[in-house]
Structure 1
Amino acid sequence: MRLNRGLPAVASSLLLALPLALAGCTSFGEGSEEPAAASATPTEVEAAPIEWSDCDAQIQPLIEGQPGSERDLLFECGRTEVPISYDEPAGATLPLFLVRATPAGQTERIGSLVVNPGGPGGSGADAAIGLALTLPQDVLGRFDIVGFDPRGVGLSTPVDCIPAELKDRVIASEPRPTTAEQLDDVFALSREMADGCAEEYGDALGTFNTVDTARDMEQLRKSLGDEQLTYLGYSYGTTLGSTYAELFPDRVRAMVLDAAVDPDTDVVADAEASAAGFEAGFDAFAENCKGLIAGCPLGDDPRRFLEELLAQAGGAPVPSSEEGETRQATPGVVLTAVQAALYDTASWPQLAQGLRAARDGDAKALFSLADELTGRLEDNSYSNLLDANLAVNCADTDEVVEETEVRRLVAEWSQAYPLFGAGSAAGLFTCSVWDAERTPVPERDAAGSAPILVVGNQGDPVTPLPGAVDMAEDLESGVLLTWQGQGHTAYPKTDCITAAVNAYLIDLVAPQDGLTCPA
C-alpha cells in the first residue's frame, strides 16, 4: 500500500479526543442503504448547513506546548451531511466532520482556506489544527483554516474493515518479498484485507472515492458561504484538488497543489516512481548523515548498515525498551520506519539514532516512526488511515495488475531499487483483488479555471518532481513552482516558496511559471 501523506498529524490521538460528531454517524456495515454508482457528470445539489460548535476547550490542551500554540486561535467543530450517491441527491446521506480555526483580530477576511493533508486517509480536520499553528500570519489574517475529514476518513463515516491484528501482520511482513513463498504470503495478506472489507461493506465499499469527495468539497464550499473555493492540498490532496477543478473549474478562486501526484502515470509507473523516489531519498539521508560534524551513527556506509540491520532483524526481530511493548521489529517494521522518516528531513536525526539503537537491541525509536506513518495509537489500536487508504486508492482506478506480472516486476525492481523495489511491485496486487465499485479519477485539464499553482520539490521521495511538472502541464491554467529541497512538500518551509504562495493565496498574484526556489 502507498501513503501519499503530505503532513504529519498534530497528535496521533487528536481526533479520538473529539467525540463531538460521532453520535448518529452512518455505518454502511450496519444495514444502511447501498448507494448507486456515481455518474461522471456532477449534479447540482442543495447544500446542507454546517452545525458549528465551540470545541476550543477540547483542542487547546492537545496542542499545548507545540510550536505555534501561543497563537490566539478559536477552534470550532462542525458537522454536515452530503449525499451518499450524487446519482440520488435526495437519497441517503453521510455525515462529514470539520474543524475551523480562526485567529483573533482577523482583518480584511477573504474567506475560508480549505485544506487536505494527503493520504488518502489523512484527517483534514487534524490538518486544519496543525496548519493553524504553522501557516504564515499573513495567511491566517485573511482566511479561516477549514479542514474536513473526507468520506470514509477519521470522523466522517470511517471505513473500518481491517482489524488491528491484521494491520500488525501486514506491517511486520517481509518488505522485500522476492521468493515464491514470500510473494504467496504477501498475496494472501492482500486477499485477506480485500475479502474482509468486501464482506463488511458490500456494494457500499466503492462509495469512498476521490470523485465523490470532490463533489462533497463543492457542497462544503456552498455551506461555508464562499463564492469560490480557496484550497491548499498536499500530496494526495493534489489529486483531490485537481479533480475538484476538473468538475467545477469556474468555482476555483485559488488552488495550491503541493507535492503533486503525477496525473499521467498508470499504476505500474506510479509504483516504480515511488520506489525510485524512496531509493533516492535514502541516498540523500545517507549523504547528510555522513556529513555530520559529530559523525554519522551509521558509519561511513549507511546503506550497508541498513542492509545488515535488516538481515539481523530477519534472523532475530529486535525488541523495544518501551514499557508494555510486546512487538518486536521485523525487517518490515524497520523499513516502514525508514520510509516514515524520509517524508521529512526533520526526522532524519531520529532515524539515524533509531537505526543505531536497533542494531544495539532497542527498536523503540523505529516503532515510533513506523506507528506515526501507519496510524497506530498508544492503546495498540489504529486510526482508519490504512483502511481508507486502500478503499480510496482502489476505488480511484480500474487498472488490474495480474499476479504473474507482479512477480515479473518484483524480480526486475528488486535489482533496480534494492531497498524499495520489491515492496512497491508487490503492492500492485492489492487493488487487483479489491472487490468494490470503481470510479476512476478523470483526466484533468480544468479548462476555464483560474490559475492553479502547482508546487514540486526536487528532492521529494514520495511524489517526485516529474509529477508536479506533469500536473502543471496538464492543467490549462497550471503554474509550476519548484523548490530545490529535500523531503515531502514545500510550503511553508522556505522563504522563497512561502512568499510566492502567500502572494497567490491572498492577492491572486501567481509567480512566473517555472520559478525555482533554492533549498
Structure 2
Amino acid sequence: MRRRLAELALPSSVPARGRLRRRLATFTTALLMVGVVGTGCAGPDSEWVAPRAAATPGTGSAAPNGGAPTWTDCSDVARNLLNGVPRGITYQCATIKVPQDWTADNGETFDIALLRARSSRQTDRIGSLLINPGGPGGSGVDYAVYLSQLPQLNSRFDVVGFDPRGVGRSTQVKCMTDAQLDTLFGYDPDPVAKADFDTFVAVNREVSDACSAKYGESLRLFSTVQTARDMDAVRKAVGDEKTTYLGYSYGTLLGAVYAHLFPTNIRALVLDGAIDPTEQAESRSEGQARGFERAFNNFAEWCGQTPVSCPVAPDPRAVVQEQLAAARTAPKAGAGGRQATPGWIFTAVVASLYVKDDWEKLARALDDLRDGDTTGIFTLADGYAERDQNGHYTNLFDANTAVNCTDYETYPTLERIRALQSDWRKKYPLFGAGLAMGMVNCAVWPTKHDPYPVGAAKGSPPIVVVGTKGDPATPYEQAPKLADVLGTGVVLTWNGEGHTAYPQTICITQAVNNYLINLRVPAKGTVCPA
C-alpha cells in the first residue's frame, strides 16, 4: 500500500508499497477482487477440507488454544517483505485455534495465524493495535509488518496482524485454479452478446461447483460474523482487556460487526475506507461503479492539467474506450504470448485508480498499448490480481468470493444482473457493466448464507470513521452512513484521492494517532486538506 507518510515516512526501500495500497478494497466480483496474501509465518499453511458431518448446535465458547499462544521468532516475514528486518523491532508469530462455527461448537477448529511486532523503544505500552487491511482476503500478518515501522505506533503498541479464517497462513479456502482466474480476469467486462454472457456465467458456475464439491455447506463458515468473533479470541490471546483496532475497507465492515457484537470490549476503533453495513449487494456494486467513474473523471482532469505527465491527454476516456474496442477483435500480445484482452485492460485501469501516484503509470501504459507494448498494462493488472510471473495466484480470490457470497442473505438473479449490465452501461460508461457482471459469481454460489448482524455499538466509546472524498472503491458517502449505524461514530474526512487515508497526510495521521494513543476524538466535522 503506497502511503505518503509525511514526517512518519516509511523507508524508501520498502518494496511493493503501491501494490499493497491497491489491494485494500472491497469488491464482490470475480473481476475486481482485492487483498493482500503472503507466505512464511510460524505455523502451518493449512488448507482446510470440510467435514461432511453436520455440526451440532451449541454455544461456541471455546477459548483459543485453551490459553495464551506460544510465540516464536518470525523475522523472516519482515525480511521477505522489506528486504531486511528493521532495527529495533522484533517479529513473533503464533497460531491460535478457534471454533469453526461459533454458534455450533462441535470441537472442530480453524487455525488463525498471528504476527506481533514489538519495538525495543516501546515505552508506556498501551497494549496491542490489531490490524485488518481489507479484502476480504487481505493478510493482516503482512500488513502489520508494514505498519510496525511507524514510530508513533510502535512506541506505544505491539502491532498485531492476523490472517482471517480462510486467508493466507490461517486455515485456507482454496478451490480456484490459475487457469480459471486467468479466464475471469481476462474476460470482457461487458459481454454484450447473450452467448458471451452465458459463457462468463458458465465459467463462474465451474468455479462454484468446484468449491461446493470440495467444501459443501461448510463454505458458510468463512463469513464476516464468524471472523468478528475470531477477533475477540485474538484480543484474549494477546492479553488485552479491550480491543484497539485499525481496519481498512472491508476491515471497516469487520470492525463494525465486531463493535455491534462486543461494544464493551472496545478501547478504540479506527475504520478507514468506510463501508455502509446496511447496503445490499446491488446498491454496493452501483456505488462502486459511481465511485470509479468519479475517480476516473478526476484522473482525466489531472491529465488535462499535466499533459507532459499524461501522454493520453486531452481525452484519456476516449483512449480507454478505443483500446477496449480494439482488444475485442485483435488483442495485442505480450510476453509469453499473453494477450491484453479487454478484461486485463479494464483491470489495469481499475488498479491505477486506487492510488493517485499510479495515474501517470496508467497514462503511460495506455500510451504504450497504443504502440503495441502491453508491459505497463500487465504490470498494473498483475499487481492488482496477485498474479506472479509464473502465472500463479494466491488464495485471495477464493477467500474473497467465499466471504462475499456468504455475507448476503440474497443476491441479484442472473436475469437482474443482465438488466443492470445494460442500465449501468449507460449510467456509468466505463465501469457500470463490469461492476454488474462482477455480481455473477455470487449469483451462482452454491451454499447457504450467513449474513452479518447490523446495528448500533451500544456501550462502545466513540469510533473514528475515516472517509476520503475521491475514494473509488468505498465512496465517501458511506462514511457518515457507517457512523450513523454505529451510533457512536465520528467522521474524519480527507479531501484526497484514492482508497483510504491513514497515514498519507499529516492532518489525518495526527488525528488518528491522537485518538489511538490518547483517546482524543477528532472534533465533529473535521476535514483534512488534500
- Which TM-score applies when normalising by structure 2? 0.90
The amino acid across from 2:316 in the alignment is: P
Aligned match of 2:38: 15
Which residue number in structure 1 is paired with residue 129 of structure 2?
113
- Note the residue ranges of structure 1 that are not aligned, 5 or more in a row: none
Cross-structure match for 2:186: 172
Distance change in 2, residues 1:501/1:37 (3 Å): farther
Displacement after TM superposition at 1:320 (Å) = 2.4
Aligned to 2:117, the other structure's residue is in SS state: strand
**Total equivalences in the alignment:** 500
Structure 1 counterpart of 2:491: 480
Distance, in Å, in 1 between the alignment partners of 2:421 and 2:169 is 37
- Between 1:137-146 and 1:177-186, the stretch displaced more is 177-186
Query: How do 1:82-231 and structure 2 match up within 5 A?
Result: 82-89=98-105, 91-133=107-149, 135=150, 137-231=151-245
Relative distance call for 1:264 and 1:499 in structure 2 (3 A) is same
Determine helix, strand or coil for the equivalent of 2:279: coil
Per the TM alignment, residue 208 of structure 1 is displaced from its structure 2 partner at its CA by 0.6
Change (3 A) 1:345 1:37: farther
CA drift of 1:36 comes to 3.6
Q: Which residue of 2 aligns with 1:271?
A: 285
Paired residues of 1:178 and 1:414 also in contact (CA < 8 A): no
Of residues 432-441 and 105-114 in structure 1, the stretch that sits farther from structure 2 once superposed is 432-441
CA contact (8 A) 1:111 1:143 kept: yes
Higher alpha-carbon deviation: 432-441 or 291-300? 291-300
Q: Which residue identity lines up with residue 44 of structure 2 in the other structure?
A: L
- Structure 1 distance, partners of 2:512, 2:319, is 40
Instruction: Say whether residues 1:50 and 2:69 are aligned partners.
Output: yes
Residue 250 (structure 2) aligns with: 236
Q: Is the 8 A contact 2:470 2:498 kept in 1?
A: yes
For the pair 1:63 / 2:82, whether they are aligned, the reply is: yes
**Number of the residue aligned with 2:364:** 353
Q: 1:108 to 1:33 in 2, by over 3 A?
A: farther
**Match 1:442 to one of 453, 457, 472:** 453
Does the 8 A contact of 1:82 with 1:94 survive in 2? yes
CA distance in 2, matches of 1:109, 1:98: 19
The whole-number CA distance in structure 1 between the counterparts of 2:121 and 2:409 is: 49
* Structure 1 residue 182, shift from structure 2 partner: 2.4
**What are the within-5 Å matches in structure 2 for residues 426-441 of structure 1?**
426-441=437-452
Q: Which of 416, 424, 433 is equivalent to 1:405?
A: 416
- Structure 2 portions without partners, runs of 5+: 1-18, 25-34
**CA offsets per residue over residues 332-362 of structure 1, 9 Å max, x none?**
0001011111111121121111111112112
Tell me by how many angstroms 1:26 deviates: 5.5
Partner of 1:27 in structure 2? 48
Aligned mate of 2:298, from 280, 284, 300: 284
Q: Which residue type is aligned with residue 173 of structure 1?
A: Y
Q: Matched residues in 2 for 1:215 and 1:33: separation?
A: 23
CA distance in 1 between partners of 2:441 and 2:23 (Å): 26
Check the 8 A contact 1:483/1:517 in 2, yes or no: yes
Query: How far apart are residue 47 of structure 1 and its match?
Result: 3.0
Per the normalisation by structure 1, the TM-score is: 0.92
1:9–1:126 Cα contact (<8 Å) kept = no
| Amino acid paired to 2:295 | G
User: Which secondary structure state, in structure 1, belongs to the residue aligned with residue 361 of structure 2?
Assistant: helix
Task: After TM superposition, list the pairs within 5 Å mapping 1:453-472 onto structure 2.
Answer: 453-472=464-483
Q: Which moved more, 1:174-183 or 1:232-241?
A: 174-183
CA distance in 1, matches of 2:37, 2:417: 38
Cα RMSD (Å) of the superposition?
2.1
Partner AA of 1:258 in structure 2: D
CA gap 1:320/1:383 in 2 versus in 1, 3 angstroms = same
Contact 1:230–1:254 under 8 Å retained in 2: yes
Q: Indicate the residue corresponding to 1:250 in structure 2.
A: 264
2-side partners of 1:284 and 1:71: how far apart? 40
Moved beyond 4 Å, runs of 4+: none
Aligned in 2, Cα 1:47/1:444: closer, same or farther, shift over 3 Å?
Answer: same
- Asked if the contact 2:23/2:135 (under 8 Å) is kept, the reply is no
**Percent of residue pairs bearing the same amino acid type:** 44
